[in-house]
Each structure stands twice: as C-alpha cells, then as structure tokens.
Structure 1
Amino acid sequence: MAWSTREIADLAGTTVNTVRHYHVGLLEEPDRMSNGYKQYQVRHLVRLLQIRRLRDLGVPVDQIEQVGFSGDTPTAALTAIDADLAKSIERLQRARAEIKAILLGSSVTDVPSGFEGVASKLGTPERSLISFIPSCTTRRR
C-alpha cells in the first residue's frame, strides 16, 4: 500500500506542511514515482504516528530524536521533558489561583503578587511606586 503526502497527512491527522517539515531529520523521504509524487509506505505512517504521539505529549520537535523510536525509552530525556511539563503546570495553576482571587475580589490587579494584603492601606503614590516592583523582583523562568 502506498499513499500520497495528502493521504498520509490525513491518515495521521496532520497537515501536508507538517509532514514535509518532519522530513528534516525525523521522517525519511519516501521513494518517488516517475511523475515525482511521493509514495509513502506503512513504515512512514508508523513513524509519523510516533512523531505525532510524542508531539501530543509535549515533546519539542528538536528533542523527538533523543526520545527515540526503537522501543528503548531514554529515561533522561523523558525525565527532563516531564520536569518541564511539571513547571508549566505549576505556573498555570498559580496563574489560575491569582485570577480566581481577582474574580472573587480578594485580590487586586494594580499591585504585584504578594502585596495584596497591604494594598488597601497604601495611598496612590505608594501604589504607583510598587507597580514597578514586578520588573525588578519577578523570578526568571
């Protein structure tokens, strides 16, 4: 069985441009027919589905080759990716908690995080001064 680029993209649930993009080191180029059209085989579809699965799991394209396809799972690469995902989840949960506090009225938006408890006691000049604090104190991520 052989498929065109459009057909293999449809089978894998992706786009033609994505399939072409994966030819840069991740997906081998298929043989071409005499008219120049690519003829993808089952091995190409399997590889494309593996790439898609890793992308859906959050593995960056430039790290997919490190994770591999041979059945051997490089623990270090996946552990690093998992740690990055955990940091992203933590950051998103903090953001959601802050948004919830603002929506419930227990926080304000014109002072940096951590100053909500004293915000009501500050006058306009003091509030203006602390509005510059995030650029100086925000942790680098």
Structure 2
Amino acid sequence: MTGISDLSTLLAGLRPEPDPVRYGFVTGPDAALAPHADTALMRFVEAEGTTLILPFEAAEAAGLDPVFACRRITLAIHSSLEAVGFMAQVAATLAAEGIGCNPVAGYFHDHVFVPEDRLGDALAALKALARTSGREFD
C-alpha cells in the first residue's frame, strides 16, 4: 500500500491529531539505552549516540535526563515516503508562528514533535493550513 504523494491532496486532507502523552528526547550509548528501546516511540542511531523518544516522566524515572518536553502531532493522512514538499510546508507553517518542530516519518504518517506549551498554537496553524488547502473542520 503506497501513500499519497500529491502535495495538494496531502495538504487538503491534513488532519492534525495530538497525542496526549508528553515526550522527551534522550541520548546516550546504544548499550546504555537498550533496556528502554522497547518502550521508545522512536529509536535512531547516529555516530555520536542513540536517540530515543520516550514518555517524559518514564525517562526521568529511569534517570535518563530527557530534553525537549514536547507533544506529538500525527499528520493523519497516509503520505508517501517519497512525497515532495509536504513536511516542508508543515515546517514552514509552524516556523511562521515561531514554533520549532522535530519531524519524524513513519510508514503511514508523518509526525511533528512541538514544544508542549505550543501545542494549541501548532494545531491551530496546521488546521488553518488544511483549511486554506480545502479541508473543513467541525
């Protein structure tokens, strides 16, 4: 099953869905983080160390020193991994509101992690983007 690659269709069909969980990013040697990998929302390995995205409180309880208290917004439309410009448009929309984001692509959806205190602003900006592209919200 392939996703949608047409930018207009992606933007018009964009449905931002907030995750109720507060997340944080942690980093360290892969071996040190291995016990937490199964509970991570994401694991990414770089030359400097492994990054996990974990529930913030769980990371603190494990003594992992999480940074970037954030919330995930799922961009609920099945985007193609080869779609051009979708995440760029999302990031530009958030940047115009002064909201930093950390994007992550899954097979079915793209996700953005935004500062938890800007979640409402980010959702409003993304819904406005979808509306200007043709989507109606209740």
TM-score scaled by length of structure 2: 0.28
Q: For CA contacts below 8 A with separation 6 or more, give which structure has more relative contact order.
A: 2
- When Rg is computed on C-alpha atoms for both structures, the one with the higher figure is 1
**More strand as a share of residues:** 2
